[in-house]
Structure 1
Amino acid sequence: MHNLLVERIVYTVSQFTRAARELLEENFVDIWLEGEISNLATPASGHKYFSLKDENAQVRCALFRNRRIQPAGALANGNAVLVRGAVSLYEPRGDFQLIIDYLEPAGEGALRQRLEVLKQRLDKDGLFDPASKRPLPPMPRRIAVVTSATGAAIRDIMATLARRFPLVEVDLYAVTVQGPCAGPEIAAALTAVGHTRTAEVVILARGGGSLEDLWAFNEEIVVRAVRSCRLPVVSGVGHQTDFTLVDFAADLRAATPTAAAEATTPDREELTQELRLTTARLRQALQHRLRDKAQQLDVAVGQLHHPLERLQHQSQVTDNLERRLSAACKNALAGPHFKVTAYAHRLNACSPRRRLPYLQAVYGALHQRLADRAQVLLTSQRQRLVVAQAQLDALSPRGTLARGYAIVHNLTSGTLVRSADDAPVGARVQAELAAGWFKGQVEETGTTPVASPVARPGRFKSKR
C-alpha cells in the first residue's frame, strides 16, 4: 500500500486537460472527416460552431472567422460536407473538438481526387514546366478573350481594359464555361485563337464557383490546348482561392478576370506619368545641349579673324610656295638631263647591232645541227618502215592467197569455213582469191586431205 502511494501521479484538472490537448494536437494533424452538419451556431464573433455526425457518432467542430474558405451555402444544417482539420481540446469545458481549416461539399471529394491524379500525370508530361512559360507583350494592340458572352467575367474584363488601356481592341470568343460541352468548346476556341494573326495575347476567364462548376478548366483537352496555343495565355478563372489545372499550364495565372485584364495591359495613368517624365528628361537634355552649343559658338566667334588678314597671310604663303616651286622645277629639269645621258650610254653599250654577228653565228651552227639531226632521223625511220613492211607482207593473208590458197565463207551461216563441218553439202559458199572471188555450192565433203589442190570437174559450181 505504501508503494502505491509513492508511485501515484496526481494531476490537476487544468494540467490534465492541457496534457490531453497537447497529446491530441501532436498525434492527430490534418484529419479528414465526412459527415452531416447539425447544431450550427453563428455567434456575434463571426466564428462557426457545429456538430459533424453520422449514424452512430458526432464530433464538435469549430471554424474560426479567419479560416472561413468554404464554398457559399456549404454551411447549413443537414448538408453533407468533407472537412479537414486538427484535433484539439477546449480546456475551459473539456470539450473534444475539431478545428476546421478546409471544408467542401462531400460530393467534391471524388472530383478532387480525380483532379490530383490528372495534375500529376500532366505534370509528368511537362505541361506545367515553368521553363516553357512565355513572356507577355508589354503593350498589346489586340487581345483575344475566351469566356462566356453573358457572364460577369467579360463585363469585368471590358471595364478594366477601358479604364486602363482604351486603345486595345478585343476579340471575344464566346464559349460555354460550365457543363459537359464546355471543355471541347474552350479547346476549340483556343485552337482558333492560335490560328489568328491579329491577336497578341489570350485571356481565358470565368467567374468563381465550386469545384464542379470550374471542372471544365481542369479537363485535359483544355490544358493541352492552352499549352499548344501559339499565343501566350493568361488564366483568370474563379477567385483568389480557386485553382484549376489551366492556372498551372497558362503562361500567367491571375486571381480573377479583372486581374487578368490588368496583367495583359499597361496602366494608362502609369503610361501618362512615364510620358511626362520622359518629356521632362528630353526637355532638360535639349536645354543642356543648347547651352553647350551656345558656349561653343561664343568660342568660335572669338577665334574668327577679319577676311583681309586671312588674305594677307595666304598671299605670303602663296609667294613662298611659288619660290619653292620654281627651285623644284629647275632641280627636276637638271636631274633628268643627267639621267638621260647616262641611259643613252648604257643603251648604246647594249645595242643589238653589237650582238648581231655573234647571234648569226650561233643561228648557223644550230641550223646545221638541226639539218643533220633531221637527216639521221629520216634515215632511221625509213629503215624501220622497210622492216615493218616486210613483216606485214609475211603475216598478211594476201601473201598466203598469192601462193594458191583461198578464204572461204559460208554464205548460209555467215561464218568462215575452217573445216568440212563448217560447209555441209548444199551450203552456198564464197571463195576469196588473191585476184578476185567466186561463189558456189558444196556438193560433197570429206575429212581426209585431197591428193591434189586442183578440184575435180563437176564437183563445185561457181558463179561469177
Structure 2
Amino acid sequence: MPLSPAVGSHPPKEEIYSVSRLNRETKMLLSQNFCSIRVEGEISNLAQPSSGHIYFTLKDSSAQVRCAMFKSRHRRSTFKPQNGQQVIVKADASLFEQRGDYQLIVEAMEGAGDGQLRHQFEQLMRKLSDEGLFDENKKKVLPRFPNTIGIITSPSGAAIQDILVVFRRRAPHIKLNIYPTPVQGIDSEKTLQKAIHSADRRNECDLLILARGGGSAEDLSLFNSESIARELFKCKTPVITGIGHEIDFSIADFVADKRAATPSVAAESSCLDNEQMLGQIEQYRSQLTRRALTQLNQHKQQLSWLTKGLLQQHPSQQLFEKSQRLDQLENLLQKAIKKQLQYAQSLLKNRQNLLQSYNPYRDITLLQDRTDHLTQRLTAAIKSKTERQKHHLSEAARTLEAISPLSTLARGYAIISDVCGQHLLNSVSEVQVGQNIEARLSKGSLICQVKEIHNG
C-alpha cells in the first residue's frame, strides 16, 4: 500500500526563471562552451551601418546564424566581406539578451579557400613535427670550411645568378656543383626529389643549397610537398634552403638543417667570414626570440582565456550590446524619417495646388508698381538728405581743421611729453637736465635730451 504524504506537507517548489535571467545564463553557457570556434558558411544580408560595425547572416544549405563584427575588429581586418562569399569566421557564440537572439560575435574572417589551404598546411606541419622531421636535435651541423658546395635550383632562374655573384665575391675558392632541376610546373615535384636524392647519393659535396627565387604562394607550393620534406630529412649531406623572400616560409625550410631568407643569404650562410660570425650571433638572437615568443604566446593564450571570462562582466560587453541596439534603432529612425518625409512632400504638393488656385498675381502687380513709385521717391529723398549731410560734414571738417593741433604742428610747432608719451610737459619745472623727452612733430617724433634749463 503506497504511503500517503504527511498531513501539512507541501510538494517541492519548482524554480521559476525570469526572462532576463534565462537569457543571461544562456548567454554565459554559450560563451563558456563555444569560445573562439571556427565556422564556415556563406555570407548574406550584409549590412554596414555608420557605426563601423558589420552585421550579416552566415548560412549553409540547411541552417543560418546571425553574426556581428564590431568596429575594433573590422578595422584591423584586411578581408573585405561581400554577399555570397564562402568564408571561415573565428567567433564566440553569444546571445543578444534584449531580443533573445542567438548570434556569433566575430573576431576574424577569411576566405574559405584560403582557410582550407592553410588548414592543409598546418595539418602537414603537425604531422611532420610529430614524426620529428623538424627536431632541432636531428639537424646536421654545417661545415665551417666547405670545399665543395652543391646548388639545387633552376639553371635559368634569377636564384642561381644571385648565388654565383655571392660566391665570386665572398669565396671564389669554393668549388660549386650545380644540379639543375625545374622548381615549378608539371612533374617538378618528382624531378626535384630525384635531384636532391642524386646530389646526396653522389656524396661529392660538403654542403647542399636548395634555392628558388621569389614568387606567389602557388609558385612556392612545391616546397610544401610532403615528399620533398621527407627526401630532405633523409639527406646525409647538410642542407641550407633559400626559398623565396624573407617573409616566405615553407615546410622545406623547417626540415632543412638551416633556413636562409633568400638564395643570396643561403650562399652567404654557407661560407664563413666576418659577416658570417655576425650572422651566427643573429641566429642565436633569433633562437632566443623564438623561444621567448613561444612562452609569450602561451601566456597570451592563458591571458586571453581569463580576459574572455572577465569580459562577460566587463562594461565594454554591455557597451557592444547597447551599440548593437543603437544600430537597430538608427535603422528604424531612418525608415520613420523617410516615411515622414514622403508624407510631408505629399502634403506640400496638395498645399501648392491649393495655393495656386488663390494666386494673387494681379494684386502683386499693382503693389509692385506702387512699390516702384515709392522707391523712386525714397531714392530722391535719400539723395537730397545725403547732399545736405555732406555739406554739414564739410563745414564741420573745416572747423575741426582750424582748431586741430595737427594744423598747429604743421606750422612748425611741437608737442613735448615724457618719453612714454603719457604726460604732456607745460613747464620747465617738470623736467631735469639730462632727462630724455619726446617732441612730436607734424611728421614723426624726436627723442631729445635736456642740456640746459632757462626759466622765464
Q: TM-score, normalised by structure 1?
A: 0.41
Q: TM-score, normalised by structure 2?
A: 0.41
